[in-house]
Every structure is written in structure tokens, then in C-alpha cells.
Structure 1
Amino acid sequence: MDERKFFIETVELFGPEVGRLISMMEYTMYTTLREVEGLTLQQLDTKVEGCDNSIGMLLLHMASVEEAFQIMTFGERDLTDEEWSRLESGIDLMGIDGNEAAFYVDRLAEVRKRTLELFAGVGDEWLDRQSPFGWDHRANHYFKWFHVFEDELNHRGQIRLIVKELKKRESN
């Protein structure tokens, strides 16, 4: 990120509202990736007391959720059985072990690249389009994409707690 990372602003190639949303999503991803820089495979796979998830599981979850929302919002449909089967372990935070940080970073980058390509094809008015959200609600696309990075922020907090505990263990 450049020195503009602390600005929520329009982004070239996108309308003003989409650009601001992208700006927030990119900063969120930037800070998430900073949290996991230099972590070992063992650190990525470790679970700590009070948290059922490893850092690797949380990173895969972030990528899987973003890809699912690509399908649901840009495709304006539910996931197919095949898509659900491919994304389920990440979405449901099921165990995944044995991957270096590059695996997760590459997966997040691949999904984000596609997200940006899809956002480049819509205008600001697309953000106001409404559709079902969950079983009993409706939401607009703006909220759904806010939810994507809100979820990432929540799990980044978990990552920070895990990293803190790992550092405490290593210092003892």
C-alpha cells in the first residue's frame, strides 16, 4: 500500500461509492496480511485455548467467504452444490493444516483479484440492489460487501489474539 492507505477515497476504475468500498476492503486486507507476515507453518496451524480456529483456518475462511459473496452478489444466485463443496471447509472453519503462509496469501490475492475485476464491471447503483440475505432477511449489495470485510476484521482480531498467545508461549 502506498502513503494513501489511511484515506477512504475513490479508486481509479471504480465509481465513487464502489471505490470507497474497495478502499476500505484493501486496507483491511493489507492489515490482515501484515499480521501474518513471517509466521511459520506450525504457528499457522496452532490452536490456542479459548479459540477453536487456527490462523490458517481463519485465512482460508476469509478467502472462502469473499468468493462465496462474489457468486451470491455478482452472480445473483446461491452457490451450486459443487461450489459449496469446494468452499465449505473454509466457510465453516473446518480443519485445514499443513499449508505455509504463501498458500493463504496467494489464495486471498487470487480471490481479491477476481473481486476487483467484478467490481470494475458495475456502477455505484449496483450497491443498492437488494436480494435475500440469510434465511429471513434482505440486504443490499453494499451491506453484503461491508459484511465481507467486517467478517475479516472480526477474524483478524482472533488472529491477533492467537499471535499474542504464541509470542507469550515462545518467550516462556
Structure 2
Amino acid sequence: MQRKTLTVEALPGFEPEIGRWIWGLEDVRRTILKRLEGIRYEQLNHRADGRQSIGSLLYHIAYIEADWLYAEVLESDWDPKIKASFPWDHRSEDNRLSEVPDQSLDEHLHRMQKVRHELLAHFKGMDLSDWRKVRQLEPYDVTPEWVIYHLIEHESHHRGQIFQLLRELEMQP
């Protein structure tokens, strides 16, 4: 068995400290993408026991990433090209995550990649003073550093849900 080396490396092109956090964000995404390889359309869009489909969770992950990027980090309106990638409301009237109508894995992955590309572009040019600069919003104060921490936590949580749903679906005949 080949010995693994488990380290965190700063991604090139970023201030090193920021690059290490972005590495963590990218690593969570990498594990999701690897696990989704070969997923069938029916599995992606299957709803079980009132839970969201895997596709809806992917939509939610991308939506939240875009929202935190634009609202908290950039303190601006969404880029219209990104906003156009989200034709469905984020939440239903009863405040549950919206169920996204049947979409292919390619559609979900394209949306996720588009948002991530925007996020990476904005964080590549960031220095440590901006990384830790407090954005004073109406409900709270927040730094870009905390946003990335939150996005890692958020996507990891939903990764667990996705993996659990896949395990259950793979056990079905």
C-alpha cells in the first residue's frame, strides 16, 4: 500500500495564508466531485423521505457560495451572469430548501464551477488586510476569512448528506 502524505498546501497565486484556506475549500469540492463520478440521473434527482435530492443540494451549495461572495465579501449585487444560473428561488414558502426540477449532473457542475471560478478570482487578488477587513452589514459584522471558513463548513455538511443519500440509493435494488 502506498503511503499517503496528508498536508495542506497554499494554492499558487494566492497570498499563502489565504491559499491554504482556499485549498481546504477546494478539497471539500474535490471529494464531492470524485464521489459523484458515475452517478445516474435517477440517483441525482431522487427524493426520499421528504429530503432534498442530491441535485437540489448541489444547487443549494452553489447558491450559498454565490450569496456569501456577493453579499458579504464584495458587498455588491450579484453578477448578472451568475444570477442567471439560479432560476429557482433558494427556499420554498415554508422556508425549506427549494426542490430543483430535474437537471443533469453537467448542469449542476457547470453552475458550481461558474460560481467557484468567480470566488477564486476575487480571492486571488486579496491581501491579508482585506482578508481580515470587517464588513459591517445590517445583521452582523463579517470578514472574508470567516466567509471561507463558513463555506468549508457548509459544503462539508452537505457533502455528508449527499454521501449518505448515495449510500442509501446504492443499497436499493
AA matched with 2:99: G
Structure 1 stretches of at least 4 aligned residues deviating more than 6 Å after TM superposition: 83-86
SS at match of 2:172: helix
Q: Describe the SS at the equivalent of 1:67.
A: helix
Map of 2:148 onto structure 1 = 145
8 Å Cα contact 1:35/1:159 also seen in 2: no
After superposition, where does 1:23-62 map in structure 2 within 5 Å?
Answer: 23-49=23-49, 52-62=51-61
**Pairing 1:144-163 to 2, within 5 Å after superposition:** 144-163=147-166
Check conservation: 1:48, 1:165, Cα contact below 8 A.
no
Structure 2 spans left out of the alignment, 5+ residues: 92-96
Quote the residue 1:122 is aligned against: 126
Paired-residue identity, %: 25
Aligned partner of 1:15 in structure 2 is 15
Quote the offset at 1:145 in angstroms.
Answer: 1.6
Pick closer, same or farther for the CA change 1:79–1:115 going to 2, 3 Å. Answer: closer
Which of residues 96, 100, 107 is equivalent to 1:96? 100
Alignment-derived partner of residue 66 in structure 2: 67
Deviations 1:126-166 (A, max 9, x none): 22111246x64322221112111211110011001111110
Q: Which moved more, 1:86-95 or 1:118-127?
A: 86-95
Determine the C-alpha separation between the residues in 2 that align with 1:63 and 1:23. 17
More helix by share: 1
Deviation at 1:13, TM superposition (A): 0.9
Amino acid at match of 1:32: I
| AA at the equivalent of 2:142 | A
After superposition, the Cα gap between the structure-2 partners of 1:130 and 1:91, relative to the gap in structure 1 and judged at 3 Å, is farther
Please report the TM-score for the alignment, with normalisation by the length of structure 1: 0.82
- Cα 1:18–1:90, aligned 2, differ >3 Å: closer, same or farther? farther
Distance 1:152 1:5 in 2: 24
**3-state SS in 1 of match to 2:13:** coil
**Per-residue deviation, 1:73:** 3.4
Provide the secondary structure at the position in 2 that maps to 1:10. Answer: coil
- Partners of 2:146 and 2:21 lie apart in 1 by 10
Cα RMSD (Å)? 2.7
Following the alignment from structure 1 to structure 2, what is the Cα–Cα distance between the partners of residues 87 and 108?
Answer: 11
Q: Do 1:72 and 1:78's aligned partners in 2 also have CA atoms closer than 8 Å? A: yes
Structure 1: stretches of 5+ with no match in the other structure? none
Q: Is the 8 A contact 2:73 2:147 kept in 1?
A: no
**Counterpart-to-counterpart distance in 1, 2:154 and 2:84:** 21
The residue type paired with residue 140 of structure 1 is: T
Aligned length: 165
